C-alpha cells in the first residue's frame, strides 16, 4: 500500500507540475512549502505549550501559598533577582571571563570551586521580611527567545525559593506537599532550566550574561535547599545526571583556540553541583569513568608510539581538578571518609592504576601526578 501511494504521489506531481519546471524542481518546491507549514505549526504548538506550562506554574504556586500569589499580583515590581546576586559574587564570576583564558592554574580552579560556601553563608544573611514581596519578579516578563529558555523556568523556581524562605521565617503559610501532586510542572521547569544552561555553555558569551548567572544561582539554591531539593532530585534526578554528562562532554570536546574561559566556567558549575551529596557521588563516578578511559587510551597510544589527541589531553585536566576537589570536599565536609565512597567505577579506576602511572610518568608527569593524587584520596581510609 505504501509503495502504491508513493507511486500515485509521484504521478500526481508529474501531471500537476507547471510548465518550465522539472519534476525534481517542483518536488523540491512542494517539500519546502510543506516544511514551512510544519514549522509554523510547530512554533504555534511550542507557544501554546509554554503558555500551558506558565498557567500550571501559577496554579501550583497559588495552591502552595495563595497569599503569596495575591500579594505578588498587587506589586508593580522590577525584574531584580531574588537570590542570585546574594549567592554568587558577579564581579568575581565575570572577571574570570574577561581574561584571555590562557591560565587555568590549580589554585584559581580550587578558589572558584570554593565559592560554593558563599551560597550557604548568603542564605543565613537573607532578610526574611515583608520586603520579599516587594522584590518578587513577575512571571510574565518579556525577554528575547534565547533568554526565555532560562528566564521563564528560572522565575518560577525563584518564586518557590521565596515562598520557602518566607514560610521558614513564619511570615507565610505554605503547603509544599502540593509539589508531590504536580510533579510534571516542577520537572518540566527544571528540565527547561537545565536545557537552557546547556545551550549557553555550548556556545558561551564573555562576560557571562547576568541572567545566566542568575539561573546558576537559582539552580544551586534549589538543590541545596533541604526541603525543596528532596522534591526536585526525586523527580528530576535523571535529568540532572544528563545535565552533568553534557557539561563533562562540553569540556572534553571543546576545541576552540581560546577555550579555557569556557572550560573554567563549566568546571565551576560542576564543582557547585558537587556540593550536594547525592549529586556529588554520581558526579565522582562520571569523572572517574572519563579520566580512567582517557588514561587507558593514552597508555595504549604511548605503548605503540602512536599520535594522541593533544586537545583532549589539555581538556582532561579540568576534570582531574574537579575530581580531586570533590574527593577532598567529601572528606572534609562529612564524617564519612572518602574511602567509604564505594562503587564500580572506583574499583575499575584503581585497578592496574600503578602500572599506568609507571608507564606514563616519564612522558606525562603532570597527568600521572593527578592520577596518583586521586588514588591517594580514594585510598585515604585504608592508609589511616
14-18, 253-257, 377-381: which range is least confident on average?
A: 377-381
pLDDT of residue 106: 41
- Is the pLDDT confidence value at 334 over 70? no
- What is the rounded distance in angstroms from the CA atom of residue 294 to the CA atom of residue 370? 13
* Helices and strands: H and E segment counts in the chain: 20, 0
> Using 50, 70 and 90 to split pLDDT, how confident is the model at 144?
very low
Neighbours of 344 (CB within 10 A): 10
Query: What are the distances in angstroms from CA 293 to CA 12, 152, 288, 298?
Result: 56, 38, 8, 9
φ, ψ of residue 86 in degrees (nearest 5): -85, -15
CB 297 within 8 A of CB 248: no
In eight-state DSSP terms, residue 338 is G
The angle subtended at Cα 100 by Cα 97 and Cα 102, nearest 5°, is: 110
196-222 pLDDT, tens digit per residue, is 899 888 887 777 777 787 888 888 888
Per DSSP, the three-state class of 328 is: helix
Residue tagged 504555534 (cell numbers): 44
Residues 6+ apart with CB under 8 A from 190: 153, 157, 222, 232, 235, 236, 239, 240
pLDDT of residue 71: 63
- What is the rounded distance in angstroms from the CA atom of residue 302 to the CA atom of residue 308? 8
Q: What is the mean pLDDT of the chain?
A: 76
- Is the pLDDT confidence value at 234 over 70? yes
Query: What are the distances in angstroms from CA 223 to CA 232, 279, 348?
Result: 7, 9, 29
pLDDT of residue 94: 41
14-23, 68-77, 230-239, 274-283: which range is least confident on average?
A: 68-77
- Is the pLDDT confidence value at 224 over 80? yes
Q: Of 55, 45, 73, nearest to 184 (Cα)?
A: 55
> Using 50, 70 and 90 to split pLDDT, how confident is the model at 318?
very high
- What is the rounded distance in angstroms from the CA atom of residue 251 to the CA atom of residue 262? 8
CB 317 within 8 A of CB 370: yes
Mind giving me the DSSP string for 158-217?
HHHHHHHHHHHTTSS---TTHHHHTHHHHHHHHHHHHHHHHHHHHS--SSPPHHHHHHHH
Amino acid at each position: 500500500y505504501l509503495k502504491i501511494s508513493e507511486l500515485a504521489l509521484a504521478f500526481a506531481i508529474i501531471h500537476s507540475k507547471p510548465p518550465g519546471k522539472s519534476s525534481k524542481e517542483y518536488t523540491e518546491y512542494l517539500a519546502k512549502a510543506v516544511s514551512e507549514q510544519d514549522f509554523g505549526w510547530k512554533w504555534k504548538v511550542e507557544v501554546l505549550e509554554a503558555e500551558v506550562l506558565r498557567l500550571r506554574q501559577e496554579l501550583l504556586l497559588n495552591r502552595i501559598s495563595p497569599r503569596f500569589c495575591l500579594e505578588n499580583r498587587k506589586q508593580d515590581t522590577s525584574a531584580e533577582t531574588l537570590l542570585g546576586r546574594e549567592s554568587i559574587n558577579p564581579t568575581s564570576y565575570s572577571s574570570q571571563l574577561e581574561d584571555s583564558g590562557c591560565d587555568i592554574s590549580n589554585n584559581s580552579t580550587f578558589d572558584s570551586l570554593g565559592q560554593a560556601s558563599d551560597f550557604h553563608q548568603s542564605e543565613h544573611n537573607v532578610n526574611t521580611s515583608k520586603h520579599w514581596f516587594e522584590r518578587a519578579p513577575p512571571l510574565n516578563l518579556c525577554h528575547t527567545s534565547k533568554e526565555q529558555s532560562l528566564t521563564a523556568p528560572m522565575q518560577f523556581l525563584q518564586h518557590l525559593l521565596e515562598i520557602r524562605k518566607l514560610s521558614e521565617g513564619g511570615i507565610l503559610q505554605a503547603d509544599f506537599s502540593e509539589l508531590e501532586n504536580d510533579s510534571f510542572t516542577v520537572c518540566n521547569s527544571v528540565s527547561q532550566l537545565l536545557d537552557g544552561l546547556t545551550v549557553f555553555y555550548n556556545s558561551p558569551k564573555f562576560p557571562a550574561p547576568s541572567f545566566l548567572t542568575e539561573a546558576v544561582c537559582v539552580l544551586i539554591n534549589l538543590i541545596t535547599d533541604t526541603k525543596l531539593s528532596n522534591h526536585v532530585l526525586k523527580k528530576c534526578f535523571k535529568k540532572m545526571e544528563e545535565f552533568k554528562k553534557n557539561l563533562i562532554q562540553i569540556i572534553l570536546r571543546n576545541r576552540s583556540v581560546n577555550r579555557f574561559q569556557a572550560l573554567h566556567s563549566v568546571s565551576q558549575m560542576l564543582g557547585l553541583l558537587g556540593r550536594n551529596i547525592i549529586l556529588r557521588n554520581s558526579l565522582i563516578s562520571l569523572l572517574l569513568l572519563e579520566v580512567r578511559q582517557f588514561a587507558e587510551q593514552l597508555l595504549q597510544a604511548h605503548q605503540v608510539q602512536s599520535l594522541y589527541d593533544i586537545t583532549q589531553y589539555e581538556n582532561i585536566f579540568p576534570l582531574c581538578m574537579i575530581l580531586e576537589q570533590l574527593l577532598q570536599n567529601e572528606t572534609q565536609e562529612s564524617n564519612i571518609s572518602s574511602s567509604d565512597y564505594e562503587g564500580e567505577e572506583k574499583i575499575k579506576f584503581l585497578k592496574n592504576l600503578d602500572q599506568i602511572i609507571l608507564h606514563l610518568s616519564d612522558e606525562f608527569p603532570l597527568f600521572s601526578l593527578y592520577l596518583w593524587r586521586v588514588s591517594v584520596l580514594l585510598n585515604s581510609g585504608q592508609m589511616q
